Amino acid sequence: MENVEPKQPAGDGSASGYPNNERPVTRRSFGKAIAGGIAGLIVAGLWGLREWYHRRLAPIRVIAETNEIRVRGSKIFQYPTDVEPCILVRTTETDYVAYSRLCTHNSCPVFWHPEDNALACPCHGGLFSITNGAVLQGPPPRPLPRVLLRIRGNDILAVGMSNT
Ligand code: FES
């Protein structure tokens, strides 16, 4: 079926042929706008579902004691399962961060490099920010997934994962 644009009024002097250059909304343009909106909602919904899945299903587990690691030191642990390596870094006297240890390029394990204030991947030179896991250099396509932490007394708990 042929999609026919509505007839345009003529002779009013405007560039588009419509009064005040206001084009009427066609069924096609309206359908495109609705489809775009629905696609955006689906993408946002899937992203939210993925985040919820990672946070909801990850166990709460003690991964270290607060005085176990010196300032600017690190500890390797497994989370959320026993075969998923992660790294905990004590960045200041009171601050800790943790990330998946699997490089987002080809899954080589990353190492803490205090001199660069970054997590480094030895395989292809990937470098990740210790602040937020963002890629600083190299081929990794995404930031490192972050392990969500909570301090309870002298215990450091892993309470979930976040990909943001
Ligand atoms: Fe880490 Fe390639 S596997 S940079």
Q: Is the peptide bond before 122 cis (omega within 30 degrees of 0)?
A: no
What is the model's pLDDT at position 37?
83
Which pTM does this prediction carry? Answer: 0.69
**Residue 141 Cα to ligand 1 middle (Å):** 10
Q: Among candidates 127, 136, 132, 135, which has minimal Cα distance to 146?
A: 132
- Percent of the chain whose pLDDT exceeds 90: 63
State the Cα torsion 12-14-18-23 to the nearest 10°: -170
| pLDDT band of 51, cuts 50, 70, 90 | low
**Residue 94 Cα to ligand 1 middle (Å):** 30
Query: Is 105 touching ligand 1 by the criterion CB < 6 Å?
Result: yes
Residue 13 has pLDDT above 60, yes or no: no
The two tokens of residue 133 are 């896991």
Task: Please report, as a single letter, which amino acid is at residue 155.
Answer: D
CA separation for the pair 116, 10 (Å, rounded): 67
**Residue 161 Cα to ligand 1 middle (Å):** 21
Residue 50 has pLDDT above 70, yes or no: no
- Percent of the chain whose pLDDT exceeds 70: 81
Per-residue model confidence as pLDDT tens digits over 112-133: 999 999 999 999 999 999 999 9
